[in-house]
Amino acid sequence: MHITDIINPQFLISTLGLLGVITIIFLETGAFFGFFFPGDSLLVTAGFFASQGHLSIAALLIFTFLAAVIGDSVGYAFGKKIGPSIFTKDDSMFFNKKYILRAQEFYNKHGRMTIILARFVPIVRTFAPIIAGVGSMKYRTFITFNIIGGLLWTWSMLLIGYGFGSIVPDPDRYIIPLVLVIIFISAAPGIYKLIQEYLRSLKSDS
């Protein structure tokens, strides 16, 4: 397996199947090193595979939702245990402090709704539950937003892929462009943020 295969949704699904999809969704949301997994495009592609009869859409809807909810809960528990010391943790191959700071900024801006909104923002969705745990958000509040966000994210992505595969004639021709569009949409907030920071730095230098 080449390192690039880890972020190739089609390879992951065809190689690892339903269990692989569930595991990756859990890792992306429940382990701080899982931020590089392609959650959005993986779910869309899994939905597409289900429309072609390769996977069960019912199983995907149920188990990816559970994986997302359990994953976020694990992230919350990790954040609650490690506490504010995570902000002083040294960078490593699997950890970069800027991701935590980005999630913290997102959390400061959106409050409790972060747990829902972050589901649709790569990297932030990995670290948002950790920040919620660090900030001692009440677990009852967290789990409510966690369930809502997990349901909206997994079901919307899966059904986009499933609907695409069911409606579009000869959908195999378009699955790669669709996945690329999903990746671009997912990355758009981060790209916008980078552009903002770049323009801000130009202003400060002038």
92 vs 99: CA distance, rounded Å: 12
Give the three-state DSSP class for 201.
helix
pLDDT-based confidence at 204, cuts 50/70/90?
Answer: low
Question: Mean pLDDT over residues 36-47, rounded?
Answer: 84
Which structure tokens are listed for 64? 């990816």
Looking at residue 1, its pLDDT comes to 46
Residues whose CB falls within 8 Å of the CB of residue 162, separated by 6 or more in sequence, listed in order: 47, 48, 50, 51, 57
Name beta bridge partners: 95.
92
Global confidence as pTM: 0.77
Report the chain's mean pLDDT, rounded to a whole number: 80
21 vs 3: CA distance, rounded Å: 17
- Considering only 12-21, 37-46, 95-104, 143-152, which range has the smallest mean pLDDT? 95-104
Whose tokens are 């269990």? That residue is 19
205 vs 63: CA distance, rounded Å: 50
Question: Mean pLDDT over residues 138-157, rounded?
Answer: 94
| Half-sphere exposure at residue 85, Cβ-oriented, CA atoms within 13 angstroms | 5
Q: What proportion of the chain, given as a percentage, has pLDDT over 90?
A: 25
Q: Where are the alpha helices (DSSP H) in the chain?
A: 9-30, 39-51, 57-82, 97-110, 114-117, 124-134, 139-167, 175-205
Tell me the pLDDT tens digit for each residue of 152-195.
999 999 998 898 888 877 766 666 676 667 666 666 655 555 56
Whose tokens are 């409050």? That residue is 111
Long-range contacts of the stretch 168-172 (C-beta < 8 A, 24+):
171/48, 171/51, 171/52
Higher confidence at residue 7 or residue 171?
Answer: 171
